[in-house]
Structure 1
Amino acid sequence: MDARRVKQILSSPADIEVKYNGTPVWIDKLNEDGRTATVHLRGPLEERTMVEIGELTEG
C-alpha cells in the first residue's frame, strides 16, 4: 500500500478492510515520515503498533 491510499482510507466514511500480515487492522494515522502508519487490531484490544505501510494490504 502507498501513502496516498492510506490517506484515502483514513478519510473514507466506508469500512475498508485492511490487513497487516493477514490480520485485520484499523489504521489510526499515517505517520509524519510517510512510510509508516500506526494501526491497531480490529476487536477489543486497543494495542497500537507502528508498521511499514508497504506491508499493509486491502481486503
Structure 2
Amino acid sequence: MPLLHVVLILIVVGVLLGLVNRLIPMEGSIKSILNAVVVIAVVVWLLRIFGLLDELRRFHLR
C-alpha cells in the first residue's frame, strides 16, 4: 500500500473520530473508551501494513 494512501486513511480516521467526539453527545468515559479502541485498532493496522506484527509474533520470552 503506498504511503500516500496510509496517510490519507489516517487523516480520514482522525477527522471522523473528531466529528464523532464533537457532534455525538456521550459520556466522557465512553468517549475515552471509543478513542482508545480506535487508536489501538489504527496501531495494529499500521503494524500489519508495515509487517511489524509478524515480527512481534515470532518474538518469544523464555
**TM-score bucket of the superposed structures, by smaller chain:** under 0.3
Structure with larger RCO (C-alpha < 8 A, sep 6+):
1
Q: Which structure features the higher share of helix residues?
A: 2
Mark the structure with the bigger radius of gyration: 2
Normalising by structure 1, report the TM-score. Answer: 0.25
TM-score of the superposed pair, with normalisation by structure 2: 0.25
